[in-house]
Amino acid sequence: MGRPYFLITDGFLSKKEDTIFFKNSDIEKTLPIEDVDEIFVLSEISLTSKLLKLLAKKGIPLHLFNRYGFYVGSFYPRETHASGFLIVKQAEHYLDIDKRMYLAKAFILGAIENLSLVYKIDNTHVLEKLKKANTIEEIMSIEGSFRKICYEELGKRTHFAFEGRTKRPPKDPLNALISLGNSLTYAKVLGEIYFTPLNPTISYLHEPSTKRFSLSLDVAEVFKPIFSDSLILRLLKEGKITEKHFTNLGEGIYLNDQGRKIFVSEFKNLLENTINHRKLKRKVSYRQLIRIELFKLIKHLLDEEPYRPYIRGIQT
């Protein structure tokens, strides 16, 4: 298993023999292909078709973000783990409303439980409403309302002005951080889906679309509290990111180069942090937790074991 690489410096990316070669006016670096699991590009990069062919051959996804941290898209190599039988089962669980509702509620259950742990908010009333929800729209509304409460708490704890969620463009520092954290989480989940037989376009909470990998959005709900919310709180509490790390470009507020470098570095470190997994009885990284979650979903789709979302501190 390789590791994800995050490029936050402008430059040129190409194929050099059987390796990935990065170059700009200050740096020349070669990345052994066996060491690369996926690539996140958060800078202005020129690349060659020969490089894309190498990534396709080796099965390495490449995720593109603009310099403000917004997810742009992914180079998703031809799937090598595809399973026709599993695709049929995925479609079956989407078309059967009861099966779809079960999974949609499970993803939001994980999101609410993990958000509650991050912000120390009682969720009893919210979980009761979730149980009684009868439509996907109701589930989304419940999650949205709870998210609003969490973001208000985020503003109180960090003492940053926060008047509500704004995305394109973000109107304040907290929105800039949330957008970057959520985008990185979404892309990371997509990268892990590539290494499973799951089809990333068949989803249950978010409506499947021809324009996006919507299953990534579903599973990311469980992990955004860990990879985005808790990371933002920690970085601001420790003073690693302050007001000096943001820039006002007129239409919105964004992390500057230094701030983006700090956030991405901390996100990368978080992925490699390990926990003792009670059920597996061994240490696993947070990056591995995502893939474990996806295989739990596969077992559910194959009617082997009901899916239970990951809740921090409670391995299910």
Same domain? For 185 and 267 the reply is yes
Q: What is the mean pLDDT of residues 40-60?
A: 91
Q: What is the mean pLDDT of residues 132-152?
A: 94
Residue 204 has pLDDT above 90, yes or no: yes
Instruction: Flag whether 311 is in a domain.
Output: no
Same domain? For 21 and 96 the reply is no
Residue 20 sits in a domain whose CATH number is 3.100.10.20
Residue 315 has pLDDT above 70, yes or no: no
pLDDT of res. 26: 86
Q: Which of 5-9, 62-66, 156-160, 286-290 has the lowest mean pLDDT?
A: 156-160
Same domain? For 178 and 115 the reply is yes
Instruction: Flag whether 41 is in a domain.
Output: yes
Same domain? For 30 and 112 the reply is no
Instruction: Flag whether 219 is in a domain.
Output: yes
Same domain? For 98 and 166 the reply is yes
Same domain? For 31 and 148 the reply is no
Q: Which of 185, 210, 144 is nearest to 267 (CA)?
A: 185
Instruction: Flag whether 223 is in a domain.
Output: yes
Instruction: Flag whether 144 is in a domain.
Output: yes
Instruction: Flag whether 269 is in a domain.
Output: yes
pLDDT of res. 79: 73
Same domain? For 89 and 35 the reply is no
Same domain? For 202 and 110 the reply is yes
Q: What is the mean pLDDT of residues 179-188?
A: 95
Q: What is the mean pLDDT of residues 159-180?
A: 84
Residue 222 sits in a domain whose CATH number is 1.20.120.920
Residue 106 has pLDDT above 60, yes or no: yes
Q: What is the mean pLDDT of residues 151-174?
A: 83
Q: What is the mean pLDDT of residues 32-42?
A: 91
Same domain? For 131 and 195 the reply is yes
Instruction: Flag whether 230 is in a domain.
Output: yes
Q: How many domains does the chain contain in total?
A: 2
Q: What is the mean pLDDT of residues 282-309?
A: 94
Beta carbons of 190 and 200 less than 8 angstroms apart: yes
Write a three-state SS string for the chain: CCEEEEECCCEEEEEECCEEEEECCCCEEEEEHHHEEEEEECCCEEECHHHHHHHHHHCCCEEEECCCCCEEEEECCCCCCCCHHHHHHHHHHHHCHHHHHHHHHHHHHHHHHHHHHHHCCCCHHHHHHHHHCCCHHHHHHHHHHHHHHHHHHHHHHHCCCCCCCCCCCCCCHHHHHHHHHHHHHHHHHHHHHHCCCCCCCCCCCCCCECCECHHHHHHHHHHHHHHHHHHHHHHHHCCCCCHHHEEECCCCEEECHHHHHHHHHHHHHHHHCEEEECCCCEEEEHHHHHHHHHHHHHHHHCCCCCCCCCECCECC
Same domain? For 92 and 133 the reply is yes
pLDDT of res. 211: 62
Same domain? For 204 and 251 the reply is yes
Same domain? For 139 and 264 the reply is yes
Instruction: Flag whether 258 is in a domain.
Output: yes
pLDDT interval class at 160 (50, 70, 90): confident
Q: Which domain range does residue 48 map to? A: 3-60
